[in-house]
A and B are shown apart, each in its own frame.
Chain A
């Protein structure tokens, strides 16, 4: 089975700015593949190259076995795109947004109408069919955009921050729909800032920073490899720091907390020693998450 996306030494410059700096990745059929990274890491630029709206500067890129430079229309015919920015057509109703969008794909009228009804039901907007899009809440708009990306029954779905700015209920609904789509055999590529989202949804992911891919793997692998199994967090004080130094436990100071990374057994030992000997005001032990990996690899400095 050939890969759905194959990128080798992919580069994108905007003038003298390097946005994507020679990345390499493959997306396999049927998986949910995630792009993580701080603002300006190059995620959106990469997605734009995949969706054939931004030509690459150099390297090779194959999407659904075709070259975006040579066959953009053929690739886009089989692609569903959920952009970061909401760009529904305010001149149409919810139904109209799906119906007239499917006309761009040359879908015959009857089929387009049927599909639009089906999709409104799929994203639970059936009652909103005749409502103008500006009357929708943020969550409804994102759902409608997801529905719009599905009008052409795409083989590959590209989502740029699909749950940005949504409340927890709306996020869970979108996640559920994405899992449904995956179960139907869709391949999904998504970028996100929400690490819990990536951890739940993605089969494999890459973490990008400054236009480069730092790591690639399954969420569990990455956590194990870069953040250990458990994290012991202790409230910072001079006494605690002195005490930990004495214990020779490797620690990292992050704001008002100290973090000690360890395997599960070691974490228990460390927690006990700290509790007995350092007298911390507050201490918790928790499993390591993707967020720990992310912050470890991309640093804690604020971006943009």
Chain B
């Protein structure tokens, strides 16, 4: 039996799984297109303009501009995470789609890799839909903010990998609520999203930087949309690259262990 961190043999057939999910997504585009659009507007109005009326500026930056990258980063996290937890779990357990797929030349490694790529693609689609809204409100700095699109893929892949690990060990679909509420929701609030990390006690800042993936995604996203690059972008990219590789590999191995007996 291969080791839990062994390098899986993935072929380009993984894209066939990605393609299947893409076809279904495009088929139901009405229900898929509007949530990100509305989500962007809700955040902008409720927090950006609502709270922004009182807060005005953070570190010399207009409050709406400060949270705009956080809106993007949270959307990247949520779309990949929920796609590869609930979405993948439904396809795996209720629809038995994975069983049907591995009866074809696809291997389980191809299937899971395809699911991860699809989760990341969903993040990209969300970013692509949200960016024009933010641009219309003039809260992001173009053209550098366009880098949010490829960043959406990398960040999406990271959260897809983390999500798939939870999916691979979750005894039922209900237990996926635990990571959603205990991990994702707090992270959306305490990763330097709606207020700077520096407001938190120092040890919590260290924890956020060491352990919360969203912290690094928000940090890079903010450098892009505010046109304020610094050398720390390299550190955050390195962190994300390592974590993404680790969890994607782990999730494929865990899924094989769950499904191939």
Residues of A at the B interface (CB closer than 8 Å) are: 14, 51, 53-55, 72-74, 76-77, 79, 81, 83, 85-92, 100-101, 103-106, 152
Contact = CB atoms under 8 A, between A and B. Distances in A.
Contacts of A81: 103
Contacts of B261: 14, 54
A53 B103 contact: yes
Nearest to A77: B105
A30 B103 CA distance: 22
Query: Interface extent on B, as a size class?
Result: 20 to 34
B95 A90 contact: yes
B104 interface: yes
Interface of B: 11, 13, 16, 19-20, 23-24, 27, 95-97, 99-107, 260-261
A54 B260 contact: yes
Given A53-B260, A91-B24, A104-B16, A79 B103 contact: yes
Contacts of A92: 24
**Chain A interface main SS type:** loop
B105 A76 contact: yes
Given A54-B260, A103-B16, A103-B19, A87 B97 contact: yes
A100 B105 contact: no
Nearest to B99: A87
Contact of A87 (B11, B100, B260): B100
A91 B96 CA distance: 12
A83 B103 contact: yes
Given A73-B107, A105-B104, 15 more contacts: A51-B103, A53-B102, A53-B260, A73-B13, A73-B106, A77-B105, A81-B103, A87-B95, A88-B100, A100-B23, A101-B104, A103-B20, A104-B13, A104-B106, A106-B105
B16 A83 contact: no
9 contacts: A53-B102, A53-B103, A54-B261, A55-B260, A79-B103, A81-B103, A101-B100, A103-B20, A105-B105
A100 B18 CA distance: 12
Nearest to A90: B95
A112 to B, nearest CB: 12
A202 B16 CA distance: 36
